[in-house]
Structure formats: C-alpha cells, structure tokens
Structure 1
C-alpha cells in the first residue's frame, strides 16, 4: 500500500520514522519546499507543491496512493482543503494529524488575533520592542509600524517588505526555556507575537513571557475542512494505517 504524507512538521517526521520499514508499505513524504534546508524524514521524499486540488488528485491517481495523511503545519493555508477534495475525488481514506493548539494558563496575558494584520493593529497599545516569531512569511503586515522595534526570528532569511526597525535572528527550534528567557532579557522585549502553532518545540517562549509578565499576541489558526478524521499523535496515525493494512 502506498501512503502519502503531506508533511513538513515534527509530527510528520516522527510518523515517517514509525512507518519506515513496515512490510507491504511504501511511504512518500511531501514537503512544500518553503525551508531551504529541511530536515528530511526517512523514506521517499518529494519537494514542491502539487498544483492545487486538481494536481494533487492527479498525483494520487498516477501513483496509486491508498492512504493520505495530512500532517501539514496548522498555518499551511489551503493544502488541507486540497487534500480533502482530492481524497474524496479518488476515494482515498484521509487522516489529519494535527497537533493541539496552545491553551492559556493562569498568569498568561494573551491577546488573540484573527490574522497577522489584526495582530499588527494590536501592537502599538501593548509595547515597543516586539519579539516576532511568526516566521518569514507575512512580515509585510508589520512593515508600516515604524515606531516599533522588532526582533524577527525565522529559520531562513525573509524576503519582501519587513519592519524598518528590526533585527533578524536566524534560528530553528526546538527552543529551551532558558534560551527564551535570555532572548527576552538580552533584547529588552516587552511583547511577544506568535501563531498558535501548538506543540512543544516553540512553546517555551510562552512560559518565558508568562514569567516576565509580558503580553503575548496569539494569531488564531485558520479553518480546516469539516468531516475529516483527526488524531493528535503520530502513534495514533500509525494505528490508523495498520487498520487499513
């Protein structure tokens, strides 16, 4: 059986590791190609988009895919909808492997925003030195905030418009609590901006912000297709695959 994993996440790599070497199973891992040097999972890997729903549908047919697993990033955009439509078109079972979102705890000062633009609109009233951890895409939403200073952290250097008063910090998670405390201290951060990515790899910044009493602007996740079965852990996805085998 041919399994296609739409990946690029920690959970997708873990799933590929768990499935690697399973008898009677071929696993292909698909990465979007947005990171210059991605951490490659075991097994076959393809990099790049499919060309929307029609392209993914054609790929599923051509490569005789028997199971499709959507393990993309919660903010990957429309790929989850493409996966749902393509799976339905070729009658391939679809599973979504989605890490749970973060939940505020006592002491958190969270300000939710529906988009990066909405997050940018909140910042002037919250602080002046911003730790921007939303990745290299979408920085144009903050480019007009000339009165604020930004520490922009991303895996690869961003292109396109970004805040004029900013410093770039190239780094890749997982991050430690001690490291995040040091970043906040060293750069005099008074506001943290993040997407609700979930997971443990980048969560220490939330703890560090809570300890320091800093506000955190949290961009909510985009909608996902309805009616798709979801699991939160790679091990659960393995069980789903084995049921079909």
Structure 2
C-alpha cells in the first residue's frame, strides 16, 4: 500500500497509524478531487464540512514510471484524509518500478534532511523527549517525539508569529515575511527558537510538554523564559 510507504513500521507512532488505517475503508473523494480521498468506517460518507486536518505524514516515491507524492492528514472524527498524486500524470501507472523514496517520517535526531542530505538544525525542547528540527533547504519545521518516533510537521506562519513576538521584532519588513525565516535562520539563537515553539504550543495546546530545556541565555531571554514558564507544572 502506497500510504504505508510514509508510515515506517519500526516507529510505534506510525505503526499505530498503520493499524488504524487497516480498520478503515475509502468512503469517498475529498474536497480537492483527483487523488484526494477520505478513509472512514464502512457505510459512512466523508464529512467535508470541516477544513482539512493538519498533515501527519508526507513523502515522495520515485519510480521508473512516475514520481508520486503522498500526503496523509491527522485523524479527525474517525476519518483520515489522504492524497496520492503522480506528477504530470492524470492517473497512477498500474506497474511501478521503485527507484527511491523519501519522507519526513523516517527522520531521527542526528540525521540530515531526507532526499538531499541537506543541513537540519536541531533545538532541544525537552531532553530525550522532544527536539525541534528545522530544514532550511526544504523550508520545513517538525517536532520529533522520542517516545512515538513521530515527526510532527509544524506550520510556518503561526510559529514565525510567535518567534517575532518573543524576539520583540516589530519591523514590518521582517515580522510580516514568514518566508524569510529559512533564509535568516542563523540570526536566531536556540533560546529564541525554543521560546517561540513553547509560546506556539501554549496557544494550540497540541503537545503535552511539561518542561522545556533552557539553554545559556542573556538576562533578557531568561526573563522571557521565566514569563512563559509560569503556570507550567
């Protein structure tokens, strides 16, 4: 199954997702048509009244016959949206001869970025529990969870807004250009990036992170760290 190619079985978090998918069936097309479909319980119809849930796994499989992009969304109300599309082709070839495949799910701390082995900056959020990874060449951010092995993709805009806030950057030419983040990543130290993620997570409450790891910082940064740490238990 093509979906399983971006869900490595040797990571418990992705294996659990595989097991979940095995209990579902395709109930219909998604909101975008083409290779966009929804998995759900047998006998149900896709609920398209809500926006797509966040992306759970993404990758690309290169075959002799086609290059196929695969995206799987997070489960929402016992439904999983996914997209499988062949570049420059209207349908998937029946026979596929694999050349290579790559995805973000198989990444682990210490690894280079998938496919091109480009640089990945790592920021410890909680020692031996969570690491924030930033791949400038890919323009991607993800949070690695040690326990499950899952790499949660982090949307840029909300994270960047919090980075501007904790860094007290008000210059519109910088603050309103999130796409410049990857070009200017060296201008931000680990403490700023860690605090930005913590602030981002406090609002979204997506990850149950009890403590964050403070690096050596300036007095001003320590003050910010203290403010954001209030109420954490």
| TM superposition score normalised by structure 1 | 0.26
State the structure with bigger RCO (CA 8 A, min sep 6), 1 or 2. 1
